[in-house]
Amino acid sequence: MTTTNPAGTRPLTRSYALVGKLLLAAVLVAAVTLMLLALAGVFHGKVPMETAKPPPFHIADQPVAEVRKIRLPRYETAVGTVRPVYETAVASKLLARVVEVKVKAGQAVTRDEVLVRLDDAELQARLKQAEAALSAAKSAHELASIEFRRAQQLLENRAIARAEYDQFESALRTATANLERAQQAVQEAKVLLDYATIRAPMTGIVIDKRVEAGDTVAPGQILLTIYDPTRMQMVVTVRESLAERLKVGQKVRGRLEALGYECDATVSEIVPEAQAASRSFTVKVTGPCPPGVYSGMFGRIYIPLDEEEIVVVPEAAVVKVGQLDMVDVLTDRTVQRRSVQLGRRFDSADATAAPDSGAQGLVLREVLAGLAVGEKVVLQQGKRVSQR
pLDDT digit string, tens, across residues 13-57: 777 777 778 888 888 888 888 888 777 766 666 555 544 455 555
Predicted pLDDT of residue 386: 35
Torsion of CA 226, 229, 231, 236, to 10 degrees: 80
Helical ranges in the chain per DSSP H: 6-39, 49-52, 121-156, 162-195, 240-243
For residue 236, with 0-12 CB atoms within 10 Å meaning exposed, 13-18 middle and 19 or more buried, which class applies?
A: buried
Q: Residue 368 pLDDT more than 70? A: yes
Predicted pLDDT of residue 356: 41
Predicted pLDDT of residue 202: 92
- CB count, 10 Å around CB of 64? 20
Strands 261-270 and 280-286 come out as antiparallel
- CB count, 10 Å around CB of 383? 8
Q: Residue 334 pLDDT more than 90? A: no
Q: Residue 93 pLDDT more than 60? A: yes
Q: Residue 339 pLDDT more than 70? A: yes
Predicted pLDDT of residue 176: 92
Q: Residue 184 pLDDT more than 80? A: yes
Q: Residue 357 pLDDT more than 50? A: no
Quick one: pLDDT band at residue 212, thresholds 50, 70, 90? very high
Predicted pLDDT of residue 359: 45
Closest CA to 64 of 382, 385, 380, 378: 378
Predicted pLDDT of residue 45: 61
Quick one: pLDDT band at residue 116, thresholds 50, 70, 90? very high
CA–CA dist 198, 194 (Å, integer) = 8
CA–CA dist 214, 229 (Å, integer) = 30
Predicted pLDDT of residue 52: 44
CA–CA dist 290, 293 (Å, integer) = 6
Q: pLDDT tens, 263-317? A: 889 999 998 888 888 888 999 999 888 888 888 899 999 988 888 888 888 888 8
Mean confidence (pLDDT) of the chain: 83
Q: What are the φ and ψ backbone dihedral angles of 89, each rounded to 5 degrees?
A: -100, 125
Predicted pLDDT of residue 358: 43
Comparing 169-173, 201-205, 252-256, 307-311, the range with the smallest average pLDDT is 307-311
Comparing 9-23, 71-85, 146-160, 277-291, the range with the smallest average pLDDT is 9-23
Predicted pLDDT of residue 383: 43
pLDDT average, residue stretch 163-179: 90
Asked whether 92 and 199 are in contact (CB, 8 A), the reply is: no
